[in-house]
Amino acid sequence: MQEVNKTNNGFIREPLLAAILSFFFWGLGHAYNGQRKKGYFFTFSYVLLFALYLILLRLLNEPIPESGSGPNFSSKAYLITFILGVVIWLFNIFTAYASAKKINEENSVLEESAGKSSYIFLRNVFLSFVIFMVFCIFLIVGLGFFARSAKI
């Protein structure tokens, strides 16, 4: 699927593959293109979208869905973040495709192969997720401890 470009020893990117990767995981198509910063931006925008949903729930005085009940599809907060999420997701797919095409047309020299770039991206996203989850666990346990000690 990847061929070495003989003119500049760079790697040719497959635009369709970049779009498919971005379809399944926000930012992965950009990482495949060697644009990890863009990939991190799109991945982080997904997290920000969830934070926006929670903020809108509070601002619009809507109840937070209970665990296991799923989202309230008629909620204004849900509709706003869903529409915004679809727009960002489609933009992510389009820009990954367009970036791969542009890289191939310009014969840009990429410093690393697509596999290495994608691996580093996924590794960093995974490690960030693990660190975030550990932080959340400590936060929840800490808040529970302080809530119990306040009742005593």
- Tens-digit pLDDT string for the chain (152 aa): 444 444 334 667 889 999 998 999 888 888 888 888 888 899 888 888 988 888 888 888 888 777 667 777 778 988 999 999 999 999 999 999 999 999 888 865 555 555 666 677 777 777 777 777 777 777 666 656 555 555 55
Q: In the prediction, which pLDDT does 23 show?
A: 93
Q: In the prediction, which pLDDT does 87 show?
A: 95
Q: In the prediction, which pLDDT does 6 show?
A: 41
Q: In the prediction, which pLDDT does 43 show?
A: 86
Q: Which of 100, 101, 79 has the alpha carbon at shortest distance from 31?
A: 100
